[in-house]
A and B are shown apart, each in its own frame.
Chain A
């Protein structure tokens, strides 16, 4: 279904500052239909660095803005800088969805874009099962931290940039209450990480650090994942997990994902050489994203594992510490579903109508399905 763009206020980079974009200004209805947020697009335009010696690598450039999307209903929908979005799109698609920019000379302007999808883009019925009514986002906001120059690149002496923010809205004749999806980045200072909360995990990945730098052979080695009912991943080599991931997404030879390399010179996966300022050669894919758990294209919400209270991620490699990325659906009890629906109804100025679970088959839900993780829909009168 066609998505309608809506321009949110453009942000001008100012080192060390923090700005907020409130979501209250998003329209509630357009042309008689209800507006639902499907994705938010971030375009960094006129990224113009001044440096003495070294190019600003693509990864460094993505440190510029740290984004936090709070929906105003208690759920942090996304937390991470533009690198987290860059990793997320590879974790959920197997490759980049939006191309990177070439690196260039000092004071040469470049631009790049990233997209925050409100639900996992590879899952069945994206975006319609995951969109949020803009009325339910009345108290929501996008908080943006502008990084200091040194945090972006040690060689930077000046930087100008502008962040254009566009919300893409889906227009529907009814009000949807989606399952509560969030994607977060967390730093870990040990060889294990405990993720708390009753939820269903959609994807989990390991990074060398929050700088999104390269993973070395042996850093993670054997990775183990337990959702509380026994091992989902019973200590499997990181390289084996990566190959399973590439196969599930049919990533191909160019681009793709390289996590922990098989050897120090693992260059089977290739990517364009953005550092050359004109991509005429291929280099080894950056070894920056280790997939741990993922949902294949066409994955269904009902088939995800339940993590009842705690998920435990451990590894036995040489590295103590990492950064964990994960996307998951939080449990939504009836009171939360009702509160979100009521908020949307009141903001849109309509009357509540018949309410039901939205199933893939369009048939009534069967006993045993867990309404806490399902999308809901309501006719508005």
Chain B
């Protein structure tokens, strides 16, 4: 097999792996990204991402300041 064919195949393989494994949300550098299994332990900033989305909705509603703590 010609070396250029090998290079093309390698580039194609890397591109395939990148596209199919691309996470729906950002994952920090160094985090594992298995092909199977849950993402539960692989999304260390799930809370932060959801908090950003919730806060954006709150700000859009013009709700009161978020510094009040919940009392029970």
Is B one of A's binding partners?
yes
Q: A residues engaging B (CB < 8 A)?
A: 74-76, 180, 182, 196-198, 330-339, 341-342, 345-347, 349-357, 365-372, 376, 378, 381
Is the Cβ of A333 less than 8 Å from the Cβ of B66? yes
Most buried by B among A74, A333, A335, A350: A333
Q: Which of B40, B46, B50, B57 contacts A365 (CB 8 A)?
A: B57
Given contacts A338-B47, A342-B50, A346-B40, contact A355 B66 (CB under 8 A): no
9 pairs, A vs B, C-beta closer than 8 Å: A198-B68, A333-B66, A333-B69, A334-B51, A334-B58, A342-B50, A351-B23, A352-B24, A370-B63
Interface string of B21-46 (1 = CB under 8 A from A): 00111000000000000111001001
Most B-side CB within 10 Å, residue of A75, A350, A351, A369: A351
Residue with the greatest number of chain B CB neighbours at <10 A, chosen from A76, A335, A365: A335
Instruction: State whether the Cβ of B17 lies closer than 8 Å to any Cβ in chain A.
Output: no
Closest partner residue, chain A, to B55 (CB atom): A334
What is the CB-to-nearest-CB distance from B34 to chain A, in angstroms, rounded to a whole number?
A: 12
A127 to B23 Cα, complex, angstroms: 33
Complex Cα spacing A355 to B47, Å: 13
CB contacts (< 8 Å) of A335 on chain B: these are: 51, 66
**Is A349 within 8 A of B38, CB to CB?**
yes
In the bound complex, do residue B50 and residue A333 qualify as a contact, i.e. CB atoms below 8 Å apart?
no
Q: Chain B's nearest CB lies how many Å from the CB of A72?
A: 13
| Residues in chain A near residue B55, CB distance under 8 A | 334, 338
| Chain A residue contacts of B61, Cβ below 8 A | 357, 365-371
A351 to B58, CA, bound (A): 22
**Is B5 interfacial (CB 8 A cutoff)?**
no
Q: Please list the 3 inter-chain residue pairs (A to B) with the smallest Cβ-Cβ separation, ordered nearest first.
A: A349-B38, A338-B51, A342-B47
Pick from B53, B71, B72: contact of A355, CB below 8 A.
B53
What chain A residues lie within 8 Å of B43 (beta carbons)?
345-346, 351-352
- A338-B54, A350-B39, A355-B57 given; 18 more Cβ-contact pairs under 8 Å: A74-B72, A182-B72, A330-B70, A330-B72, A331-B68, A333-B68, A334-B51, A338-B55, A341-B54, A342-B46, A349-B38, A351-B43, A352-B53, A355-B54, A356-B57, A357-B57, A370-B63, A371-B54
Interface positions of B (Cβ within 8 A of A): 23-25, 38-40, 43, 46-47, 49-51, 53-55, 57-58, 60-64, 66, 68-72
A381 proximity list for chain B (CB < 8 A): 24
Using known A-B contacts A76-B72, A197-B72, A333-B66, determine if residue A352 contacts B25 with beta carbons closer than 8 Å. yes
For residue A233, give the distance in angstroms from its CB to the closest CB of chain B: 23
- Given known A-B contacts A76-B72, A198-B68, A372 and B63 have beta carbons under 8 A apart: yes
Asked whether A345 lies within 8 Å of B50 as measured between CB atoms, the reply is yes
A333–B55 alpha-carbon span in the complex (Å): 9
Neighbouring A residues of B46 by C-beta, 8 Å = 342, 345-346, 352
CB-nearest residue of chain B to A381? B24
In whole Å, how far is B43's beta carbon from the nearest beta carbon of chain A?
Answer: 7
A333, B57: Cα distance in complex, Å = 12
Whole-angstrom distance from the CB of B52 to the nearest CB of chain A? Answer: 8
Q: Which residues of B contact A180 (CB under 8 A)?
A: 70
Chain A min CB distance to B4 (Å): 38
Chain B residues near A355: list those with CB within 8 A. 50, 53-54, 57
In the complex, chain A residues whose CB is within 8 Å of the CB of B25: 351-352
How far apart are the CA atoms of A309 and B66 in the complex, in Å?
A: 15
User: Which residue in chain A gives the minimum CB-CB distance to B54?
Assistant: A334
Residues in chain A near residue B50, CB distance under 8 A: 338, 341-342, 345, 352, 355, 378
Residue of A nearest to B72 (CB): A75
- Within the complex, the shortest CB–CB distance from B24 to chain A, in Å, comes to 5
Contacts of A366 in B (CB 8 A): 61
Q: Which residues of B contact A365 (CB under 8 A)?
A: 57, 60-61
Which chain A residues lie closer than 8 Å to B51 at the CB level? 334-335, 338
